[in-house]
């Protein structure tokens, strides 16, 4: 039974106890606060993992973050990078502008496939696909029908 006890300051302990009594946080923050309080009490990793239902890695990450940055940072969720936006507002405006023009000769209206073929010939939109066009039009409330 390995214990990795941490020593919370009085201020940090008070902060975590108050945090666990308020309903204004998400579940992960409560979980992290409870893990920190349990580590402060000297509970073993196995006890924490079993009682709170967290993995060994989760407990380790919380402890590592606490040691590096303190209690407030240890309970806070890190920002996630996500995939950067591929098309900027200018390209989105161009998609909407083309969709709002008159349909090509011989067609009653624009389809997503027609828009895709038309837009792929434009600079900056060479790799655009149907789904991107659909989502852009949906977000801007443009109706092709």
- CA–CA separation, 1 vs 6, rounded Å? 16
Give this prediction's pTM. 0.57
Locate tokens 């161009």: which residue? 94
Q: Which residue, among 48, 23, 24, 21, has the nearest Cα to 36 in the 3D structure?
A: 48
Q: How confident is the model at residue 37 (pLDDT cuts 50, 70, 90)?
A: very high
Q: Which residue, among 23, 3, 19, has the nearest Cα to 76 in the 3D structure?
A: 19
Q: How confident is the model at residue 141 (pLDDT cuts 50, 70, 90)?
A: confident
Neighbours of 34 (CB within 10 A): 19
Q: Which residue, among 64, 68, 142, has the nearest Cα to 99 in the 3D structure?
A: 142
pLDDT (tens digit, 9 = 90+) per residue, 118-132? 999 898 899 999 999
Contact assessment for residue 45 and residue 55, using Cβ atoms and an 8 Å cutoff? no
- CA–CA separation, 77 vs 61, rounded Å? 12
Q: What is the pLDDT of residue 3?
A: 54
Segment 69-75 mean pLDDT: 91
pLDDT (tens digit, 9 = 90+) per residue, 84-101? 888 999 999 999 999 999
């Amino acid at each position: 039974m390995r214990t990795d006890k941490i020593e919370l300051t009085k201020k940090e302990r008070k902060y975590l106890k108050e945090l666990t009594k308020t309903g204004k946080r998400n579940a992960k923050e409560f979980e992290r606060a409870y893990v920190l309080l349990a580590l402060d009490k000297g509970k073993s990793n196995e006890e924490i993992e079993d009682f709170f239902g967290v993995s060994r890695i989760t407990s380790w990450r919380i402890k590592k973050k606490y040691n590096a940055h303190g209690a407030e940072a240890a309970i806070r969720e890190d920002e996630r990078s996500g995939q950067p936006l591929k098309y900027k507002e200018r390209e989105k405006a161009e998609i909407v502008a083309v969709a709002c023009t008159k349909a090509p000769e011989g067609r009653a209206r624009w389809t997503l496939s027609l828009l895709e073929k038309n837009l792929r010939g434009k600079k900056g939109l060479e790799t655009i696909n149907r789904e991107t066009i659909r989502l852009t039009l949906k977000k801007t409330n443009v109706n092709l029908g």
